[in-house]
Chains A and B, each alone.
Chain A
Amino acid sequence: MKCRELADFLMDYVSGELSDDSLAHFELHLQRCRNCHEYLLQYESTIKAGRIACGEASDELPDDIPDDLVKAVMAARKLT
């Protein structure tokens, strides 16, 4: 397996969907290639960073709706 193929298989690897055969080749390459190992770590970190940045625990509080938008919705409701 080359780095190019490993990159193609990354998503299936992360979600645990690689076949046993592909997984063996994937892990063998990973053991020998530090660059791909680093790329895998960064790929996983990217997914996590997105979740944290936009998740419920982020600065965008789930309950935080501006008051003027609440008023706009309520006013528009009366018109319909």
Chain B
Amino acid sequence: MSSATPVDLDEADLLRRLRAGDESAFEQVVRTYGGRLLAVTRRILGSEEDARDVVQDAFLNAFRSLDRFEGHAKLSTWLHRIAVNAALMKLRTRKRKPEQSIESLLPAFLDDGHHEERFQSWDEPVDKVMERAETRELVRKHIDQLPDGYRTVLVLRDIEGLDTEETATMLGLSVNATKIRLHRARQALRTLLAPHFRSLAS
């Protein structure tokens, strides 16, 4: 998420109309950026319903604070940040679902330091496997299953492309804790995907 990109002409025009209170401009913003915001909040929250609530609140919040948008960042980046923050806030306040422990999804080792498991290869290249819509859906389902604290780090780092420092700041974690969580989240997701990727390859 680069925030240093110059504002393009269309966005400047849109912004002018928003500040003038042009109703069609607000709708244009919602239609243009809403899908992307819905996708990221859905990933963070693992829930369609919560994502919709958060996107709605994020837009209302953004529209109210338009005068604080200074135009250094792109409008899309600014909205994205508001929505991600709103999703993280929602995550903190909502009733926690019982979660599968991450420990059972991490690799286990023998006393001599070797892996307990012998890993069967994933024969098909990942690009090929991911061409199938049902596999993409399956991967998203397993990301949703990761415990909240791990899923959020994985989404912000690996999917949203934030760097470790930005992710740590947004989550109120240390850089080191963020790195550990990301590593564990990836390992856990690998464990969840392994049975499917092996069987799909056969």
Chain A contact residues, CB within 8 Å of chain B: 2-5, 7, 10-11, 35-36, 38-39, 41-43, 45-55, 58-65, 69-70, 72-74, 76-77, 80
Contacts and interface: CB of A to CB of B under 8 A. Distances in A.
16 contacts: A2-B113, A2-B114, A4-B114, A7-B107, A7-B115, A35-B114, A38-B120, A39-B115, A42-B190, A42-B197, A43-B186, A50-B189, A54-B139, A55-B159, A60-B39, A74-B30
A38 B64 CA distance: 52
Contact of A50 (B32, B120, B159, B197): B159
- Which secondary structure dominates where chain A touches chain B? helix
Nearest to B161: A51
B95 interface: no
A11 B182 contact: yes
Interface of B: 23, 26-27, 30-32, 34-36, 38-39, 42-43, 52, 55-56, 59-60, 63-64, 107, 109, 112-115, 118-122, 126-127, 129-130, 133, 135-137, 139-140, 143, 154-155, 158-159, 179, 182-183, 186-187, 189-190, 193-194, 197
A53 B143 contact: yes
A53 B140 contact: yes
A31 to B, nearest CB: 16
A77 B63 contact: yes
Query: Which among A51, A65, A70 has the greatest number of chain B C-beta atoms within 10 A?
Result: A65
A73 B39 CA distance: 16
Nearest to A61: B35
A46 B193 contact: yes
B143 A77 contact: no
A39 B109 contact: no
A50 B154 contact: yes
B38 A49 contact: no
Given A3-B115, A10-B183, A45-B190, 6 more contacts: A4-B113, A7-B107, A39-B115, A53-B137, A69-B52, A73-B60
Nearest to B117: A35
Contacts of A80: 60, 63-64
Contact of A41 (B42, B122, B159, B187): B122
Contact of A11 (B63, B121, B183): B183
Given A51-B159, A62-B35, A77-B63, A69 B56 contact: yes
